Structure 1
Amino acid sequence: MVDTDDEWATLITSNGRRVSFQRVDDYSPPSWPGQEHPQQMHLDVTVTDPAGHPFCLVTN
């Protein structure tokens, strides 16, 4: 399934997992190995322990 609007596109699996992409109006693609337009990514991950309790992977 796909959910979209003017700012976001979200892919949703049949079991509810999601991956979302946000539009950037003045996007400049990254160049490697230079840093004039560095690579950018933000990933939120929800993790649960074997008993099903959520916990953080990063503390700061």
Structure 2
Amino acid sequence: MRMRLTAITLDCADPMALAAFYHRATGLPFAERSDDDFAGLRAEDGLFLGFQRVEGYRPPSWPTQDVPQQLHLDFDVDDLDEAAALLVSWGAVLPEAQPRPDLWRVLLDPAGHPFCLTVPRPPRES
């Protein structure tokens, strides 16, 4: 059996606002909008990134686990400093706690979900 990832859906308080942030950050086009409870983006390969309203949503409390992060997304970028600064200007937060700032940056999206920026590394030779 083989499984193919087709969708990732994030809980949040404002689906359209979070979809707009990720649209701007990734360039993925809007794919779905239904009233104010759900929005989505779809990549060319079909991967769907969805955002659903959850009443009483509480953002993760990274780096503590008072409210667990539950999942996080990783994105390759060309320049960590430049990408982090741009994303912060669009509403992300760069928390003080950065476990390995030489390899990746942890940011929080406008709904509080942690996500990481990394610079692609060449594959290891066997």
User: Under a length normalisation based on structure 2, what TM-score does the superposition of the two structures give?
Assistant: 0.27
Task: Give the structure with the higher percent helix.
Answer: 2
- Please tell me whether Structure 1 or Structure 2 has the larger radius of gyration of its CA atoms: 1
TM-score with structure 1 length normalisation?
0.47
